Amino acid sequence: MSRFFRILVGITAATHIPFVVAVYALMRRLDVQENLSWGIALALGLAGVTLFIGRARGHMFDKPRPFWRTFLVDLPYYAHWCANIWCLIPSVVYVVLEPIVDAIRGAPIGPSPNFFMWTYASGLVVTTYGVFIRRWWFVVQRHEVKIRGLDPSLDGYRIAQLSDLHVGALHPIWWALRWQRAANEEAPDMTVVTGDMVTSGVAFHDAIADVIGGLRAKDGVFVIMGNHDYFGEGEPLISLLEERGAKMLRNTGVVIRDKMYLAGIDDTWTRRADMDLALASRPEGMPTVLLAHDPEKFREAVRKKVDLVLSGHTHGGQVAVPFIPKKVNASKIAHNYSLGFYEQDGSTLYVHPGLGTTGPPIRLGVAPAVVVLTLRAA
């Protein structure tokens, strides 16, 4: 195991402790003898940790497998795993505060196993929704963006953005074709795909090419690579996409209708990105749209007077507080720009919420979306 993988297994083992206590509480409610209750609970806890190893390895080396197995084995397990994460903070708070409260009340000190049972049950309801329903149900979002110096003839220009498809065993092609159809129904002037088409490996390259090759837009379909697209060999995917008519932007740019410059940079995580090279052919004073998978490149783009940056990568955290996902989401722990619009010195960044998932396949509070941006002259 790699060091990172050992850490994941350790976290999984730790989060199964409240689950073991929850199972024990359930067994006792069913009048199962105490020693047998603990035996069943510990066995299920050990099984949960063992199953994680297989699921995680499969996720890291993504290969086709029957969807019935994914639906009946993998997804229920991920709902359980996420429910354990849900339990973690309440369980720690309860273990710390419960003896203090009991001491103040003069009651016998000792945590109740029933607390862990009900906490896990509530978490399982929420995470089952996030894994099976919210992840599947995508939306079409429409926004307007003001661009300084935009030619009046491009006022109303529509860009459809797809990002972070992560096509694979957990997001099969028939899922992704729904996103393709939704984007095409918008009849955009341009369609862009801002990276992370792959989950890992190369087994789904043909499916990805079928999805992106079927996108349609008046001025074409433009694609950049993300970090996951290099979790395996990236060059075959690039060739397939170009064969299907997509225009790959790898530290290069093109002029659109003689009035707007569209640039794209390669992946930052593998140190392929070169914004200077991508902007080298930009005509002086021409409004510029930059495709950059990693939103952290926005600061550099501001210095280079890029008008609009379209990014992905964060998935909006995948889990966020409903109604205020930009303010409170999981990706804010690691990213300065996590979701939606940001402005600085006349430049605008839009961080796409993504369509697929990585890590646990769950969405809560952050809907997967096909996004249509309408450009307006500032």
Q: Which DSSP category does 132 fall into?
A: I
Residue 1 has pLDDT above 80, yes or no: no
Average pLDDT over residues 147-176: 96
Q: What does the block give as tokens for 76? A: 């229920």
Average pLDDT over residues 136-143: 97
Can you give the residue ranges of every domain in the chain? 3-134, 139-377
Question: What is the secondary structure of 16-71 as a DSSP string?
Answer: HHHHHHHHHHHHHHTT--HHHHHHHHHHHHHHHHHHHHHHHHHHHT-----HHHII
| Residue 154, pLDDT score | 97
Q: Reply yes or no on domain 139-377 having CATH 3.30.565.10.
A: no
CA-to-CA separations, 258 to 18, 49, 118, 282, in angstroms, rounded: 62, 58, 62, 11
Question: Can you tell me the distance from the alpha carbon of 150 to that of 163, in angstroms, rounded to the nearest whole number?
Answer: 25
Residue 363 has pLDDT above 90, yes or no: yes
Residues 6+ apart with CB under 8 A from 25: 112, 113, 114, 116, 117
Task: Find out whether 378 and 355 touch, Cβ atoms under 8 Å.
Answer: no
Smallest CA-to-CA distance from 189 within 355, 378, 341, 374 is with 374
- Residue appearing with tokens 């996590």: 338
pLDDT tens, position by position, 34-76: 999 999 999 999 999 999 998 888 777 899 999 899 999 999 9
| Residue 288, pLDDT score | 98
Q: How confident is the model at residue 104 (pLDDT cuts 50, 70, 90)?
A: confident
- Residue appearing with tokens 């129904």: 185
Residues 6+ apart with CB under 8 A from 215: 160, 162, 180, 183, 184, 191, 193, 221, 246
Region of 149 on the Ramachandran plot (φ > 0 left; ψ -120 to 50 alpha; else beta): left
Average pLDDT over residues 207-215: 98
Task: Find out whether 190 and 217 touch, Cβ atoms under 8 Å.
Answer: yes
- Residue appearing with tokens 């809907």: 367
Question: Can you tell me the distance from the alpha carbon of 228 to that of 205, in angstroms, rounded to the nearest whole number?
Answer: 12
Q: How confident is the model at residue 3 (pLDDT cuts 50, 70, 90)?
A: confident
Q: How confident is the model at residue 102 (pLDDT cuts 50, 70, 90)?
A: confident
Task: Find out whether 84 and 61 touch, Cβ atoms under 8 Å.
Answer: no
Residues 6+ apart with CB under 8 A from 368: 135, 137, 138, 139, 353, 354, 355, 356
Percent of the chain with pLDDT over 70: 100
pLDDT tens, position by position, 266-299: 999 999 999 999 999 999 999 999 999 999 999 9
Task: Find out whether 192 and 222 touch, Cβ atoms under 8 Å.
Answer: yes
Residue 78 has pLDDT above 60, yes or no: yes
Mean pLDDT of the chain: 95
